[in-house]
């Protein structure tokens, strides 16, 4: 592998890492917004007296039933954020690998 190819690989990995970082941040922001929407929906339901049930577990189940769409959105965005975090770690490792290869090549050239 020549130095030019190695430089190109490091630049590509750096660009991919930047994109993964942006995606991870975006995924976290979307998750936080969905959690906030869920909290607002729960507050509205609780303040509106729409929850029925004699014990806490029954009331929680009723609240979950009434906020099903919001709960599903939060669950999906949790998965998305986890995937984005994994992709970010992979890109960090890829860049670290290319940097290690560059150091090896630089060391070989000095010898």
Question: Which DSSP string corresponds to 12-38?
Answer: HHHHHHHHHHHHHHHHHHHHHHHHHHH
Cα separations in angstroms, 46 against 25, 32, 55, 88: 31, 21, 15, 38
How many secondary structure helices (H) and strands (E) does the chain include?
Answer: 3, 0
Percentage of the chain exceeding pLDDT 90: 85
Residue 54 pLDDT: 85
What percentage of residues in the chain have a pLDDT greater than 70?
97
Residues 77-98 have a mean pLDDT of 98
C-alpha span between 111 and 97 (Å, rounded): 21
pLDDT of 52 higher than 90: no
- Residue among 80, 84, 78 nearest 23 (CA): 84
User: Over the chain, what is the mean pLDDT?
Assistant: 94
Mean pLDDT of 73-97: 98
pLDDT 10s digits, 96-108: 999 999 999 888 7
CATH topology for 3-110 is: Helix Hairpins (1.10.287)
């Amino acid at each position: 592998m020549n130095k030019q190819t190695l430089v190109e690989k490091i630049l590509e990995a750096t660009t991919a890492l930047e994109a993964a970082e942006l995606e991870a941040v975006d995924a976290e922001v979307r998750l936080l917004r969905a959690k906030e929407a869920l909290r607002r929906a729960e507050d509205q339901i609780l303040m509106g007296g729409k929850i029925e049930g004699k014990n806490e577990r029954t009331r929680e189940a009723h609240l979950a039933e009434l906020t099903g769409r919001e709960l599903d959105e939060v669950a999906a965005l949790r998965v998305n954020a986890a995937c984005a975090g994994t992709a970010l770690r992979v890109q960090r490792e890829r860049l670290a690998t290319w940097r290690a290869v560059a150091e090896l090549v630089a060391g070989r050239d000095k010898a």
